[in-house]
Each structure stands twice: as structure tokens, then as C-alpha cells.
Amino acid sequence: MSLRTPAHPSLILTAHGSADPRSAATVRLIAECVRRLRPGLDARVAFCEQNSPNLRDVLETLHDRVSVVVPLLLADAYHARVDIPAMIAESGAEVRQAEVLGEDDRLIHVLRQRLEHAGVSRLDAEIGVLVAAVGSSQPDANTRTAAVAHELTLTTRWTATTAFATGPHPTLAEAADELRGRGATRLVIAPWFLAHGRLTDRVVTFARAQGIPMSSPLGAHRQVAETVLDRFESALALTAAA
């Protein structure tokens, strides 16, 4: 499909969707932040499942308007590679799919900032950070997610490792043991999630049972919105070059 360069493109911020209302609420707050950063931009919210509006329904309203679907996802895995492309193809709309947010430096900065807001000093060498993330059936996606822990420790004295709340190893318990084995005497959990939901509740349950403090998810932070806009603009640049 050949895409023309749009004069007034729409940004379709697309999340997976969740039965937990906190997740959809965060998506809408991120979209509001995007609109504040880019007044006049037609920024819409869509979901693959469980929440409204559904991406298919949003695509049907475009009326030949060239748009960019920006997956509000941290991992380039099944939803970004299969679900969203299939829904776009079924719609027949003139839509380009942007890259996922991924392990962007701005998001890792937000993750580090959330820890600092939770009272963790960058200079505390006794801290072990357990980065809790969603696991994937795609090994390469897990490998990229695991790199977040290393990036998080830059400019700090922390030690860190990544654990997966679902799917592959290491589990939360295994990661906690690893950090203690490295000499960390105080652990803290940093959720590599955009919003609270059922998966983060599992992490909270583990944290409380183990007496480990936990920082907040990335949430509707300005730098999350900036990353969304960056993906949008990159996709538009590819459209213009096509």
C-alpha cells in the first residue's frame, strides 16, 4: 500500500487493552499529555481488545485520512508484530504503523526518576534494583527488555537485573536471589510497565510478601508523551520518503 504524505495526519495511540480500568485511564492521560505537547494534533486513543474504542472502529472513521498507529507498548513482541498489523490490514485504511516505544533512553530516565521519587538515592551502592517486566514468547524481545536493567544503572551506584512477571525466567524470586548474591543488601522493585494493572498487582503482591518497596510505573509522564511523538514523527518521515 502506497501512503501519500499527509497534510494533517492523525496519531492513533494504540494500547493492548485491559480489564483493569487503571490501564485505560493511563492511556487516556498519556494521550492528553501528547495533545498538550502538540496543540492541534488529532491524537486519538484505541485498543486492541477489552476497552473502547477498538482500533478497528477508530480506523473506520478515518475516511481516507492518512494516519499513524503508535503502539503504546514497551516490547516489540506479539501485539506489535501480529495483532496490530492484522487489524490495520483488515481495515484497508491508509495507515502506517510506528515502532513501539521500546527501551528508549527517555523511558529509562523516567524509570530511574520513579525510583528516586520512592526515596532511592543514586549514590547508594547497597541498592539492588529488580526491574519487573512482562515476558514474551519472542526471545529477542526478552533480550532487549533485559537490557533495561543495565541502562538503568548508568550514572548510579546500583546493581540491577530484570525479572519477568509472566513467561520466561528469571522470575521475581530468582531475580531477588541474584541481586542478594551480588551483594545488594536493600532491594527495590522498578516496574517496567506503563500503567498499573493485573500484572503489576502480581508484582505488588510479591513485593509486599517479601517486604520489598516498589516504585510507580512510568505513567503519563511528559517524556513518555515525547517518546510517542518521536515514534509518530519517525513514521511520518518514512511516509514522506516513500
Give the separation between CA 200 and CA 195, rounded to whole angstroms. 8
Give domain status of residue 3, yes or no.
no
Kind and range of the H or E element at 209? helix 198-210
The total number of structural domains in the chain stands at 2
Instruction: Name the nearest CA neighbour of 192 among 209, 172, 211, 212.
Output: 172
Percentage of the chain exceeding pLDDT 90: 81
Give domain status of residue 177, yes or no.
yes
Task: Write out the three cell numbers for 156.
Answer: 548510579
Task: Write out the three cell numbers for 44.
Answer: 486519538
**Residue 97 sits in the same domain as residue 112:** no
**Residue 126 sits in the same domain as residue 82:** no
**Residue 109 sits in the same domain as residue 195:** yes
Residue 241's pLDDT is 66
Alpha carbon of residue 184 to chain centroid: 27
**Residue 64 sits in the same domain as residue 129:** no
CATH number, position 96: 3.40.50.1400
Kind and range of the H or E element at 180? helix 172-181
Give domain status of residue 215, yes or no.
no
Positions of the chain with pLDDT lower than 70, given as ranges: 1-7, 64, 240-242
**Residue 158 sits in the same domain as residue 197:** yes
Give domain status of residue 168, yes or no.
yes
**Residue 123 sits in the same domain as residue 167:** yes
Give domain status of residue 197, yes or no.
yes
Quote the domain boundaries for residue 70.
Answer: 10-102+221-241
**Residue 141 sits in the same domain as residue 127:** yes
Q: Is the pTM for the entire model greater than 0.75? A: yes
**Residue 74 sits in the same domain as residue 153:** no
**Residue 53 sits in the same domain as residue 14:** yes
Give domain status of residue 4, yes or no.
no
Give the separation between CA 214 and CA 202, rounded to whole angstroms. 12
Residue 93's pLDDT is 85
pLDDT in tens, 142-188: 898 889 999 999 999 999 999 999 888 999 999 999 999 999 999 99
